[in-house]
Amino acid sequence: MEEENNPVKEYLFSYIEKSEKRFQDLFSRQKMNEIIDDILDSCYHKVALMNNKEENLGVLATGLLHYMLTNAMLPSQRKVEQQGVEIDIVIPDLKTLENDSKKTLIICIPKTLDKNIIKEKLEQLQKIQPEKQNIWLVLTKDLGFENKTYVIQKEKSSFSSIIYDIAQFVNVQGQNKFKILRV
């Protein structure tokens, strides 16, 4: 299945490509939050001005998270389906979700701020991930959900700490044999 061109992804990955050498240096020094802050500082405003702000910022968050997980060498799957429920990102994978939901993290990136749509999505996810604390949200503003929520915004974004928190979750669950990120 080939993904269609997306101007947000193109802009994001064009910026990442231009900054690759500096980002690799920051990765080697485990400065994940600096990379995220840099990308948000440089890309957020342009993406927010495109049509469908919430959707585009969701695409930015998804692309950025995928890039960060890959470079941090944290196992994950994105845009997968389990029992008819679409999952944005599952860590480490669907097989672990089936076998041991306590060791599995789902990251939900709704491309809306409609609380009813988000609530419905969370209810669907809880059918396949009964560990409610293992379903995290990425939103453009905190809407008061019980789930751990990361807010993606240009400045003082809680989204900056998501990679450390994911690495900590993976390390605590004993899945990251390499302990790439020492948290």
What is the CATH classification number for the domain harbouring 124?
3.40.91.80
Q: What is the pLDDT of residue 183?
A: 42
The reply to whether 76 falls in a domain is yes
What's the number of domains the chain is made of?
1
The reply to whether 183 falls in a domain is no
The reply to whether 2 falls in a domain is no
Helix/strand/coil (H/E/C) assignment for every residue in the chain: CCCCCCHHHHHHHHHHHHCHHHHHHHHHCCCHHHHHHHHHHHHHHHHHHCCCHHHHHHHHHHHHHHHHHHHCCCCCEEEEEECCEEEEEEECCHHHHHHCHHHCEEEECCCCCCHHHHHHHHHHHHHHCCCHHHEEEEECCCCCCCCCEEECCCCCCHHHHHHHHHHHHHHHCCCCCCCCCCC
Residues of the chain where predicted confidence (pLDDT) is lower than 50: 1-2, 177-179, 182-183
User: How much is the mean pLDDT over the chain?
Assistant: 90
The reply to whether 182 falls in a domain is no
The reply to whether 73 falls in a domain is yes
Instruction: Give the structural domain span for 93.
Output: 7-172
